[in-house]
Amino acid sequence: MGSRATSGPTAPVGGVFGYRRSGPARDLESQGRLFDGYVLLAPYLGPFSPTNRPGGGGWAQVSTPRILALTALSSLAIRNWKALTVVRYAVNPAAPFPTTPSYSFRLARSLQAPLGLTSAFRRVSEPVAIIVGSADEQMRPDQYAPLVRAAGNKVTVTVVPGSTQVGMITDTLAVATVIDRVQHMP
Protein backbone atom coordinates (compact mmCIF):
# COMPACT_ATOMS: atom_id res chain seq x y z
CA MET A 1 0.00 0.00 0.00
CA GLY A 2 1.04 3.59 -0.32
CA SER A 3 1.29 6.04 2.50
CA ARG A 4 -2.48 6.48 2.46
CA ALA A 5 -4.96 3.87 1.33
CA THR A 6 -8.72 4.05 1.20
CA SER A 7 -11.45 1.52 1.70
CA GLY A 8 -14.52 2.68 -0.12
CA PRO A 9 -14.97 6.19 -1.43
CA THR A 10 -14.41 8.18 1.79
CA ALA A 11 -13.05 5.87 4.50
CA PRO A 12 -9.33 6.46 5.08
CA VAL A 13 -7.65 3.39 6.50
CA GLY A 14 -4.04 4.56 6.62
CA GLY A 15 -1.04 2.87 5.14
CA VAL A 16 0.16 -0.24 6.84
CA PHE A 17 3.00 -2.05 5.19
CA GLY A 18 2.94 -5.81 5.72
CA TYR A 19 6.14 -7.80 5.57
CA ARG A 20 6.24 -11.54 5.06
CA ARG A 21 8.83 -13.00 7.45
CA SER A 22 12.04 -11.86 5.81
CA GLY A 23 11.54 -8.23 4.83
CA PRO A 24 14.57 -6.00 5.27
CA ALA A 25 14.33 -4.38 8.69
CA ARG A 26 16.41 -1.43 7.52
CA ASP A 27 13.27 -0.33 5.65
CA LEU A 28 11.79 0.32 9.08
CA GLU A 29 14.45 2.97 9.53
CA SER A 30 14.71 4.46 6.05
CA GLN A 31 11.00 4.47 5.23
CA GLY A 32 9.59 5.08 8.71
CA ARG A 33 7.85 8.26 7.63
CA LEU A 34 6.12 6.76 4.61
CA PHE A 35 3.64 4.54 6.45
CA ASP A 36 1.25 4.80 9.36
CA GLY A 37 2.40 1.50 10.83
CA TYR A 38 4.09 -1.81 10.11
CA VAL A 39 2.98 -5.41 10.40
CA LEU A 40 5.70 -8.07 10.50
CA LEU A 41 4.61 -11.69 10.08
CA ALA A 42 6.96 -14.09 11.89
CA PRO A 43 9.93 -11.91 10.95
CA TYR A 44 13.47 -13.18 10.61
CA LEU A 45 15.42 -10.81 12.85
CA GLY A 46 18.94 -11.83 11.93
CA PRO A 47 21.25 -14.81 12.31
CA PHE A 48 21.88 -14.36 16.04
CA SER A 49 18.33 -13.58 17.10
CA PRO A 50 16.90 -15.68 19.94
CA THR A 51 13.71 -15.89 17.87
CA ASN A 52 15.34 -18.41 15.48
CA ARG A 53 14.93 -22.13 16.05
CA PRO A 54 18.20 -24.05 15.61
CA GLY A 55 18.62 -25.17 12.01
CA GLY A 56 15.54 -23.23 10.94
CA GLY A 57 13.39 -25.83 12.69
CA GLY A 58 14.51 -28.39 10.09
CA TRP A 59 13.39 -26.20 7.19
CA ALA A 60 16.72 -24.59 6.45
CA GLN A 61 20.35 -25.60 6.16
CA VAL A 62 22.61 -22.59 6.73
CA SER A 63 26.24 -22.60 5.66
CA THR A 64 27.64 -20.49 8.51
CA PRO A 65 31.31 -20.97 7.49
CA ARG A 66 30.52 -19.75 3.98
CA ILE A 67 28.58 -16.76 5.34
CA LEU A 68 31.47 -15.83 7.62
CA ALA A 69 34.00 -16.18 4.80
CA LEU A 70 31.92 -14.13 2.37
CA THR A 71 31.27 -11.49 5.02
CA ALA A 72 35.03 -11.19 5.63
CA LEU A 73 35.71 -10.95 1.90
CA SER A 74 32.98 -8.31 1.51
CA SER A 75 34.55 -6.22 4.26
CA LEU A 76 37.73 -6.24 2.17
CA ALA A 77 35.72 -5.06 -0.88
CA ILE A 78 36.02 -8.50 -2.51
CA ARG A 79 32.49 -9.18 -3.71
CA ASN A 80 32.95 -11.67 -6.54
CA TRP A 81 31.18 -14.57 -4.81
CA LYS A 82 27.97 -12.96 -3.56
CA ALA A 83 25.94 -15.30 -5.80
CA LEU A 84 27.07 -18.39 -3.87
CA THR A 85 24.32 -20.28 -2.04
CA VAL A 86 24.39 -19.89 1.74
CA VAL A 87 20.92 -21.16 2.74
CA ARG A 88 19.00 -24.15 1.40
CA TYR A 89 15.34 -24.76 2.24
CA ALA A 90 13.49 -28.03 2.56
CA VAL A 91 10.89 -27.39 -0.10
CA ASN A 92 8.77 -29.81 -2.04
CA PRO A 93 9.89 -29.67 -5.68
CA ALA A 94 6.45 -30.92 -6.70
CA ALA A 95 4.62 -28.14 -4.86
CA PRO A 96 1.75 -26.69 -6.93
CA PHE A 97 3.08 -23.16 -6.37
CA PRO A 98 6.52 -21.57 -6.80
CA THR A 99 8.93 -22.05 -3.90
CA THR A 100 12.39 -20.72 -3.13
CA PRO A 101 14.83 -23.61 -2.63
CA SER A 102 17.85 -21.49 -1.67
CA TYR A 103 19.22 -18.03 -0.93
CA SER A 104 22.44 -16.61 -2.29
CA PHE A 105 24.71 -14.62 0.02
CA ARG A 106 23.50 -11.43 -1.69
CA LEU A 107 19.83 -12.26 -1.16
CA ALA A 108 20.31 -13.43 2.42
CA ARG A 109 22.17 -10.23 3.32
CA SER A 110 19.51 -8.04 1.71
CA LEU A 111 16.85 -9.68 3.88
CA GLN A 112 18.81 -9.57 7.10
CA ALA A 113 17.85 -7.33 9.98
CA PRO A 114 20.44 -4.81 11.15
CA LEU A 115 22.66 -5.98 14.01
CA GLY A 116 21.40 -3.11 16.18
CA LEU A 117 17.83 -4.30 15.81
CA THR A 118 16.51 -2.99 19.13
CA SER A 119 17.76 0.50 18.38
CA ALA A 120 16.29 0.24 14.86
CA PHE A 121 12.87 -0.48 16.38
CA ARG A 122 13.29 2.47 18.78
CA ARG A 123 14.00 4.84 15.87
CA VAL A 124 10.73 4.00 14.12
CA SER A 125 8.09 6.51 15.13
CA GLU A 126 5.12 4.53 13.80
CA PRO A 127 3.59 1.51 15.56
CA VAL A 128 4.98 -1.93 14.71
CA ALA A 129 2.93 -5.12 15.14
CA ILE A 130 4.74 -8.45 15.13
CA ILE A 131 2.43 -11.41 14.57
CA VAL A 132 3.69 -14.99 14.85
CA GLY A 133 2.03 -18.40 15.19
CA SER A 134 2.41 -20.43 18.38
CA ALA A 135 3.25 -23.52 16.28
CA ASP A 136 5.79 -21.77 14.02
CA GLU A 137 8.35 -24.32 12.86
CA GLN A 138 11.14 -21.80 12.18
CA MET A 139 10.71 -19.18 14.89
CA ARG A 140 10.40 -19.20 18.68
CA PRO A 141 7.24 -17.16 19.27
CA ASP A 142 7.93 -16.66 22.98
CA GLN A 143 11.23 -14.88 22.23
CA TYR A 144 9.83 -11.90 20.29
CA ALA A 145 8.33 -9.94 23.20
CA PRO A 146 11.48 -10.01 25.38
CA LEU A 147 13.61 -9.02 22.39
CA VAL A 148 11.55 -5.96 21.41
CA ARG A 149 10.54 -4.89 24.94
CA ALA A 150 13.35 -2.30 24.97
CA ALA A 151 11.77 -0.60 21.96
CA GLY A 152 8.85 0.54 24.09
CA ASN A 153 5.12 0.16 23.69
CA LYS A 154 5.03 1.04 19.98
CA VAL A 155 6.12 -2.54 19.17
CA THR A 156 3.48 -5.13 20.02
CA VAL A 157 3.71 -8.90 19.70
CA THR A 158 0.69 -11.10 19.04
CA VAL A 159 0.95 -14.89 19.11
CA VAL A 160 -1.76 -16.68 17.10
CA PRO A 161 -2.70 -19.97 18.80
CA GLY A 162 -1.98 -23.06 16.70
CA SER A 163 -0.73 -21.19 13.63
CA THR A 164 2.40 -22.30 11.77
CA GLN A 165 4.89 -20.40 9.59
CA VAL A 166 2.85 -20.92 6.41
CA GLY A 167 -0.36 -20.65 8.39
CA MET A 168 0.32 -16.97 8.98
CA ILE A 169 -1.00 -16.35 5.46
CA THR A 170 -3.35 -19.32 5.07
CA ASP A 171 -5.10 -20.00 8.43
CA THR A 172 -8.41 -18.26 9.00
CA LEU A 173 -7.55 -17.20 12.57
CA ALA A 174 -4.11 -15.89 11.57
CA VAL A 175 -5.47 -13.88 8.65
CA ALA A 176 -8.26 -12.50 10.84
CA THR A 177 -5.66 -11.52 13.46
CA VAL A 178 -3.58 -9.69 10.86
CA ILE A 179 -6.65 -7.83 9.59
CA ASP A 180 -7.66 -6.94 13.15
CA ARG A 181 -4.18 -5.63 14.01
CA VAL A 182 -4.10 -3.51 10.83
CA GLN A 183 -7.54 -2.08 11.55
CA HIS A 184 -6.68 -1.30 15.18
CA MET A 185 -3.17 0.07 14.82
CA PRO A 186 -2.82 3.08 17.13
* pLDDT given for residue 168 in this prediction: 87
The distance in angstroms from the start CA to the end CA of the chain is 18
Average pLDDT of the segment spanning 40-68: 83
Question: What CATH number was assigned to the domain covering residues 6-183?
Answer: 3.40.50
Give the residue from 111, 92, 89 showing the smallest Cα distance to 101: 89
DSSP assignments along 81-149, one per residue? TTTSEEEEE---TT-SS----EEEHHHHHHTPPPTTHHHHHHH--S-EEEEEETT-SSB-GGGHHHHHG
Q: Is residue 58 predicted with pLDDT exceeding 80?
A: no
Given pLDDT bands bounded at 50, 70 and 90, which one contains residue 162? very high
Cα 16–chain centre separation: 15
Give the residue from 139, 112, 127, 111 showing the smallest Cα distance to 186: 127
Given pLDDT bands bounded at 50, 70 and 90, which one contains residue 93? confident
DSSP assignments along 8-37, one per residue? TTTEE---EEEEESS--THHHHHTTTT-SE
CA dihedral 158, 161, 164, 168 (to 10 degrees): -50
pTM of the model: 0.70
* pLDDT given for residue 122 in this prediction: 78
